[in-house]
Chain A
């Protein structure tokens, strides 16, 4: 397997672990973003770090987006003091629709399999104005367009 295959496998595995931790049935695009931010040594990681987005900052932004979206329906998360439910250790989250779209968009930004690098996957996750990721970034005050431009620039200069 090539380096990018190993990387994609690692991101999918980490994304599934994030989904499991969330109690989510599927790995979604925001779980992939958490995974991209967790793997150091890539241009994707450097781009996220350059605007202060480490894994914890993204987790915080996602939690805020959840609370904000609930508030749009007049529901306050603070009203629910939920005990943390047990998880099935054997459960393997599937790949959700938003993660599939992010991967497809990422692959589409590369000129071929040999060109595919971590920053392409980051672009795939960022390249939508709809859904949890752009909403969470906006609430965190992150300019998604600027982030995409940074990722594009690294593709011209960085090999990984």
Chain B
């Protein structure tokens, strides 16, 4: 969508709700994408680099649920 076609919420309540919803959608996409990548054999450093965060941060946020789901985790590339 071209930039001039993106609707701009004029009401602050709509704009704030959009920000909250986008944050939630970003979290959902991250959860799904990290799991997809780790199931496909990506390493923690590669996933962290792709997300632009530290390896420690991505490991802390996602490792428990992936281990619980039985995903085989690779430490290194």
Classify chain B's interface size.
20 to 34
Known contacts A72-B14, A80-B29, A82-B29; is-contact A89 B21 (Cβ 8 Å): no
Known contacts A23-B27, A74-B1; is-contact A135 B17 (Cβ 8 Å): yes
0 or 1 for each of A68-84: is its CB under 8 Å from B? (1 = yes): 01111111010010111
Classify chain A's interface size.
20 to 34
- Is B32 close to A, CB under 8 A? yes
User: How far does the alpha carbon of A82 sit from the alpha carbon of B5 in the complex, in Å?
Assistant: 25
Nearest chain A CB to B42's CB is how many angstroms away? 15
Q: Which of B1-32 contact A (CB under 8 A)?
A: 1, 5-7, 9, 13-15, 17-22, 24-25, 27-29, 31-32
By a beta-carbon cutoff of 8 Å, the part of chain A in contact with chain B is: 23-24, 65-66, 69-75, 77, 80, 82-91, 130, 132, 135
The number of residue pairs between A and B whose CB atoms lie closer than 8 Å in the complex comes to: 76
Cβ–Cβ < 8 Å partners of B29 in chain A: 80, 82
What residue of chain A has the Cβ atom nearest to residue B27's Cβ?
Answer: A23
